[in-house]
Amino acid sequence: MGQADWVVVPLDANASDEPLYFDDHAWRTIEAATARIIPTDRQPGAREARAVRFIDRMLAGTQFVYASADGSGFLRMDGLEEKAWLERVETRRALYDDGVVRLDELARSRFGQPFVSLREEEQDAVLEELGGPKPARYRLDGAEAGGTGGAPAGNQPMDEDLLDFFSLLVLNTRQGFYADPVYGGNAGGIGWRVIGFDGPETLRATTDGTYTTIDYLIVDAQWPYENDPRVTRAGWR
């Protein structure tokens, strides 16, 4: 059966804010960690975006993997496809299960409390034990900042299956902040608003023509665009 013929199950990753995979302690621990990876400042962070719910749905099984193109549910995987994906989910579950234990061990040995009870600076110190120094502010004229984990160098896919816990957590938090809200994170598109991405209201809007970026374009500009006075005017303050 081709993927276009897969059954759409009317599931909603955002139907509740309760864990489907994590236990309560793991849910609160991972939520606290995501909140240090993309912190809340004058704008919402990973906690408000529900990155923890995105991660929980990812670990819950194969039911939230392929959103249907119109956003009405998720495609039901089966056969070899599902078998292969379950192997991936099981690997990630083990990384997260061990990761929560490790965060608590480090937290207890350094500060005498479980990770979720620590102050933010203490949580950062624990994360630094796993992922190395916390990156400093990026400067256009400074050295490269770096840090462990996160998105790859370009816009190309990466093999998430080869990542360790900290790198996976950083990447998944980012996905939970910026992925389409249909997957359980980026609640209400708040991750997109933080960086100024005017994304679609719903996934359906990308397939029925109602989502458009036409407001950002100079529609009847003539080639060569760089000679069009309206284009020339744009760009410089």
Residue 2, SS3? coil
In the list 19, 73, 99, 149, the residue contacting other proteins (rule: CB under 8 A) is 149
What single string gives the DSSP state of each residue in 88-134? HHHHHHHHHHHHHHHHHHHHHHHHSS-GGGS-HHHHHHHHHHHH-SP
CB of 58 to other proteins, least distance (A): 13
Please identify, using beta-carbon distances, which residue of 101 and 145 lies nearer to other proteins. Answer: 145
Q: What DSSP designation does 8 have? A: E
Taking CB under 8 A as the rule, does residue 2 contact other proteins? yes
| In contact, 62 and 77? CB cutoff 8 Å | yes
**Quick one: tokens of 126?**
């624990």
Is residue 16 close enough to count as binding other proteins by CB under 8 A? no
> Which of 20, 69, 190, 231 forms a contact with other proteins (CB under 8 A)?
69
162 touching other proteins, by CB under 8 A: no
Residues 75-114 that bind other proteins (CB under 8 A): 79-80, 83-84
How far is Cα 85 from Cα 90, in angstroms, rounded to an integer? 9
Position 73 contacts other proteins (CB under 8 A): no
Q: Which two tokens stand for residue 163?
A: 């990542």
What is d(CA 75, CA 8) in angstroms, rounded to the nearest whole number? 5
CB of 20 to other proteins, least distance (A): 22
User: Minimum distance from CB of 29 to other proteins (Å)?
Assistant: 16
Among 37, 28, 91, which residue's Cα sits nearest to residue 59?
91
Q: How far is the CB of 21 from other proteins (least distance, A)?
A: 21
Supply the minimum distance, in Å, between the C-beta of residue 23 and other proteins: 25
Q: Which CB atom, from 15 or from 153, has the smaller least distance to other proteins?
A: 153
Distance CA 155, CA 165 (A): 22
Among 110, 119, 134, 230, which residue interacts with other proteins (rule: CB under 8 A)?
A: 134
